Structure 1
Amino acid sequence: MLITTDLTSADLTEIRQSALGAADPLGVAAALADAVETGRLADQEDAGLALALAAEIAESRSRLDAALRYADRAVEAYGARDDSQAGAARALRARILFRSGRADEAMAELEPLRPLLTRHSDAAAYIGAALTVGGRNRTAEEWLTEAVKAALAERGTAAEPSTADEAGLLFFLLQQRHRTRHALGLPHDSHDNLADKLETRLANASAAAAAEDLVFWPRAEFDRLIERWPALTEAYGATWDEHRARLERALTSGPTVTLRTGTVDGLASAAGADGDPADPKTRSAYARRQAAVAWPPERNEACWCGSGSKYKKCCLPRGRA
């Protein structure tokens, strides 16, 4: 892989999506490490991220010595940071240590990371993966149980979350714990029941969202829409950037849907004099009558949102944020 320009965070995200399918993934890993070494990152704060990605690529090809070297450098690059990315890098290093038969060192790396379970879902995912690779499912179940209890205690007297979005990190912890207990053959308890309930609600919400086509509001139309009907920020986003990011994520990760362009006048006409444009049925019926937007464009083509920028530099990274 030849890197001819400084790598941005968006470039690193794109490489993460495509590296394992590259003709020479280990070459990609080496190029990432070299970019860090030679200062070819747009933001030097991304050094740890680039090196951790190199470590994961090498690990996937069972080049554990190289993977550990990259992981060591990633942890060093993060220094004393204790955020999600730094925690994920340390948990990744522990996972590679487990694969290398160095279980005691792996556990010594993971133990200080336990507080991150209730703070960052990304770091929690890496911690859980490391424990699974190391055959420490019972330890994972114990840590996740404590994290779930802490998250529930933090909610205090608040009502039980009714949706996965409302539960946030708690939902992730419940899911991870539920799957770990299933692997251990443990019976359901109240936390498992809550995980099942939230997963069912999430599935129902996804099915409902898939039932109606996605509506894209060009910038000028979006501004008019929100000014006229402020309540529609819940359905379409509070800002145009949020609107575009929501659509890109839905298009790349959800069920197959069609993206259609909307206009304020068209929606007002569909609602009629007595109708409610915020009514999902009204919006769904309106969407199905609108022209479809060609998606996805080629990476180097103009973005579908009409910004004038290339897709790879505009909405493509929004969907991966």
Structure 2
Amino acid sequence: MSIDLGRVTAMGRDSRRAAIERAEALEADAENSGERTDDLVEAADYWRTAHEPERERAALLAAIDADTGESLFDPRATYAEMLMRLGERAEADRLLNELMGDLNSREHTYIAASGAYQHAGDTATALRWLHIGITRLIPDATDPETELAVNDDGVELLRIRREIRTDLGQPPDELDHALDRISEAAFGPAGPFAEAACEPGFVEKFVDAMADRHDVVVLHWPAEDLAELRRRAPALPLAPDHDAHLLELQREMLLADRDGKRATLVTGSADGYAAFCAEAELSTGDADSAEQYRTDLLLRGEWRSWPPERNAPCWCGAERKYKKCCGAPGRTDS
């Protein structure tokens, strides 16, 4: 099997044109929408998808000029993230140090600042920004009596923090346990989303609602779990072996990326899938059940962004750098 490079190239051109049209529309809307800063930051994201760094830069600088501190997005932190991504670390550091002395209550500030240092491979500073945001937005997160919802400001910082710490091989701590409590309260048997997650069409509704953040979501099975699933649920459509499974997922995420879409990864387990199906009264051999399980993992915040940095551990769980494992040159060519 091989990737149709002609099709990929055509898809890339179509995606770029669509991204440019969307960016231009947002910039036009920004003049009269009353949400100029957010519109311009969103336009910058589309310029990034279109591989237009100077247009991205211009949109963010205009957003910074328009910012009153009341927008959802923080344009200064977003601009610093762009600088870091483009290799302009000195200027990014300067801007983020300046921002550190003028912090606000926007969750996005801490997400973007953390993302900037993740681009630079500086996970210690990325975690520091997340800790600052958590302390500011949800100072009582570790208190079991504190009631927090999955969509409260600060909870996304807990999820990103756990993702980084998991990649580093660090054990769960009190903040990780706090995130577990929040997820269980929302999606456990007595949670407000438990019944909805089993309703027909829920997956489609959820994907539509989260499309701006999770365009393509793939379900990864570790080797032992894939083998166990093939034994327990032979009717479930699965790859013939683990290497084929990894190759299939890498291709899917690569094609998503080339189409300007965000790829997200969730990792399942055979036992977790069985428990989910038993609780939801679903057949383990049905592909729709696997899709609902994938969505349940996503809802619980148990997802990871893709791709990892080239020198970071590979997403597949192998003890190798991404660039020498699933991201190795030629890996998906045949």
TM-score calculated relative to the size of structure 2 = 0.48
The structure, 1 or 2, with the larger RCO (C-alpha pairs under 8 Å, 6+ apart) is 2
- Greater share of residues in helix: 1
TM-score calculated relative to the size of structure 1 = 0.49
